[in-house]
């Protein structure tokens, strides 16, 4: 959690050097820049440093590049200027970023898990699938009834809420999400248990029904783990390849 | 004309006297109105650093040439969006160039081979040493980089010339994310003061 709460100012250097990966962190900093005069002027100064570094790296370009660029320019229409008062390109804030909503309404969250379990039944078509859902649900209901189960809810960076039921003594958790943005085909949401020595996949989120993803059960939760959620290519990845849109330190 | 000479004088004017910078700003304003002669002048003054920084990041000459062409064409196409009140023309163009190079790196990170090509990047002195003969700018930048702590210098060099994200830099240098952010920022503040950037 620490890195999400961290003073956004400190990212100005990494931002100016294009060292923030595309995604939530860079978007957030870009939003921050539009509100923070001192950050914007700091980034401007750093960009001048970067410019000096670019000039220091100057190299002779291939001679034929000039002709190609000029020829390409000759057949390329230029963009008109942006006229003040027109559609300005200031990034529109779609949702205020709430970093951490601890222990939100337990009733709502438990209800979402139950609803997710029911969706699981509704989506099962064959006996095998049904048996699997039953087994999973048994595990989830055991988890829900664990005396030390904790409920965590969290707003995901680009919209949506993740609800987590954590049974620390059983080293298990269940996750449902509501309202996550739909992904283009070829991409999936993947859960991770981010531990000190390594990051382990905690499974893919099943497709959402009515905006809600069926419960996913993760086992082997260890002390100090952070629950992460990233967007990955279809089929999932062995290790996260994008910036997490959720990073929830688990009170294990 | 030796492009390196023009680059050297170009950068001096960007920081020492502001005249050259204003000339370039003015040229770009003319480019926005479709002035192809002005575009040729902008090309001649900036192609060296544009191509150089892209090649430093990408390593591969033919890919670098391709990206440099995209960048210079984008300068032509979007010149009307350049706002001299926000920053100088050279900085505007170099920001586009570096970002395009990074986009290319990040979209092909999985592609094999790049690891080998960037294996030597973590020796920042060599990185900069290559450029020392190139121009006076390199000398100034090298001197300012030398004034940084090892971690600051390595972090900035890996990020800017190596094209690594700060998470990757943190991993390479075995320094926490929080510390890397701070080192990059502190290092850039020192560089800014050392280079006399206003």
User: For residues A194 and A221, is the Cβ–Cβ distance under 8 A?
Assistant: no
Do A58 and A111 fall within a single domain?
A: no
Residue at A65 is within a domain: yes
The beta-carbon neighbor of A58 closest among B7, B32, B192 is B7
Quick check: is A101 in a domain?
no
A12 or A105, which is more confident: A12
Over the stretch A158-209, which tens digit does the pLDDT of each residue have? 788 888 888 888 788 888 888 888 888 888 899 988 887 788 888 888 888 7
The closest of A221, A241, A238 to A152, measured between CA atoms, is: A221
- Residues A56 and A171 grouped into a single domain: no
Cβ contacts of A58 on chain B, cutoff 8 Å: 3-4, 7, 48-49, 51-53, 131, 134-135, 137
The pair phi, psi for residue A246, each rounded to 5°, is -145, 130
Q: Count how many domains chain A has.
A: 2
Cβ <8 Å between A56 and B140: yes
- Whether A81 is covered by a domain: the verdict is no
Q: Is residue A91 part of a domain?
A: no
- Say if the Cβ atoms of B52 and A78 lie within 8 Å: no
One domain for residues A60 and A131? no
CA distances, B93 to each of A53, A54, A228, A237, B114 (Å): 13, 10, 37, 36, 25
Please indicate whether, in this complex, the C-beta atoms of B4 and A58 are within 8 angstroms of each other. yes
Whether A50 and A121 map to the same domain: the answer is no
CB burial readout A155-172, b (16+ within 10 A) else e: bbbbebbbbbbbbbeeeb
Q: Do A224 and A236 form a contact (C-beta atoms < 8 A)?
A: no
Please give the residue range of the domain that contains residue A149: 106-249
Is the pLDDT at B100 greater than 80? The verdict is yes
pTM across the whole model: 0.56
Domain boundary among A58, A74, A90: A74
**Alpha-carbon gap, residue B39 to B136, rounded angstroms:** 25
Q: Per mean pLDDT, which of A147-151, A152-156, B2-6, B171-175 is the most reliable? A: B171-175
Distance of alpha carbon A252 from alpha carbon B160, whole angstroms: 39
- Looking from the CA of A75 toward its CB, the CA atoms found within 13 Å total 5
Please tell me which of the candidates A11, A18, A66 has its beta carbon nearest to residue B43: A66
Ranges for all domains in chain B classified under CATH 1.10.1740.10: 1-111
Q: How far is A7 from chain B (nearest CA, A)?
A: 10
Instruction: Tell me if B36 and A60 make a contact (CB, 8 A cut-off).
Output: no
Residues of chain B with CATH 1.10.10.10: 118-198
Band (pLDDT 50/70/90 cuts) for residue B48 is very high
B161 — contact with chain A (CB < 8 Å)? yes
A190 and A137 assigned to the same domain: yes
Residues of B within 8 A of A16 (CB-CB) are 188
Which fold is adopted by the domain B1-111?
Rna Polymerase Sigma Factor; Chain: A (1.10.1740)
The count of other CB atoms within 10 Å of the CB of residue B44 is 13
Alpha carbon of residue A44 to chain centroid: 28
Q: Could you tell me the fold of the domain covering B118-198?
A: Arc Repressor Mutant, subunit A (1.10.10)
**Shortest CA distance to A202 belongs to which of A214, A218, A189, A213?**
A218
Q: Do A79 and B80 touch (CB under 8 A)?
A: yes
Q: What's the pLDDT at B144?
A: 96
Residue A79 is assigned to a structural domain of this protein = no
Q: Extract the tokens encoding A93.
A: 């804030």
- The verdict on a CB contact (< 8 Å) between A78 and B156 is no
Contact A58 B49 (CB under 8 A): yes
Place of tokens 């492009």: B3
């Amino acid at each position: 959690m620490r890195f999400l709460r961290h003073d956004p100012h400190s990212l100005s250097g990494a931002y100016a050097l294009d060292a923030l990966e595309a995604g939530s962190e860079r978007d957030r900093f870009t939003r921050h820049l539009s509100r923070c005069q001192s950050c914007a002027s700091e980034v401007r100064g750093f960009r001048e440093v970067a410019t000096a570094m670019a000039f220091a790296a100057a190299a002779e370009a291939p001679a034929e590049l000039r002709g190609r660029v000029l020829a390409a320019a000759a057949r390329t229409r230029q963009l008109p200027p942006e006229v003040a008062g027109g559609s300005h390109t200031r990034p529109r804030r779609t949702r205020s970023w709430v970093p951490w909503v601890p222990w939100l309404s337990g009733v709502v969250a438990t209800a979402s898990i139950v609803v997710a379990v029911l969706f699981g039944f509704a989506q099962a078509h064959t006996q095998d699938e049904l048996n699997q859902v039953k087994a999973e649900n048994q595990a989830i209901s055991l988890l829900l009834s664990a005396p030390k189960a904790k409920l965590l809810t969290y707003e995901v960076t680009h919209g949506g809420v993740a609800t987590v039921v954590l049974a620390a003594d059983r080293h298990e958790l269940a996750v449902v999400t509501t309202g996550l943005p739909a992904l283009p085909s070829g991409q999936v949401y993947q859960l991770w248990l981010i531990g000190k020595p390594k990051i382990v996949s905690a499974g893919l989120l099943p497709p959402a029904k009515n905006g809600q993803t069926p419960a996913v059960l993760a086992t082997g939760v260890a002390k100090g783990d952070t629950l992460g959620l990233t967007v990955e290519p279809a089929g999932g990845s062995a290790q996260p390849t994008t910036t997490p849109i959720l990073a929830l330190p688990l009170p294990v | 004309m030796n492009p390196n000479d023009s680059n050297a004088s170009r950068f001096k004017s960007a920081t020492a006297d502001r005249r050259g910078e204003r000339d370039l700003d003015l040229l770009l304003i003319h480019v926005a109105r479709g002035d192809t002669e002005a575009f040729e002048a902008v090309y001649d003054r900036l192609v060296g650093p544009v191509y150089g920084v892209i090649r430093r990041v990408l390593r591969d000459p033919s890919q670098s040439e391709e990206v440099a062409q995209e960048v210079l064409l984008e300068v032509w196409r979007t010149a009307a969006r350049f706002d001299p009140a926000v920053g100088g023309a050279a900085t505007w163009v170099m920001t586009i160039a570096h970002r395009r190079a990074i986009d290319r790196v990040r979209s092909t990170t999985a592609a094999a081979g790049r690891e080998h090509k960037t294996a030597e990047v973590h020796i920042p002195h060599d990185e900069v040493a290559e450029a020392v003969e190139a121009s006076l700018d390199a000398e100034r930048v090298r001197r300012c980089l030398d004034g940084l702590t090892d971690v600051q210098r390595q972090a900035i060099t890996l990020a800017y010339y190596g094209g690594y994200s700060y998470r990757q830099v943190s991993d390479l240098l075995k320094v926490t994310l929080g510390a890397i952010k701070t080192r990059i920022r502190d290092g850039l503040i020192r560089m800014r003061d050392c280079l006399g950037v206003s």
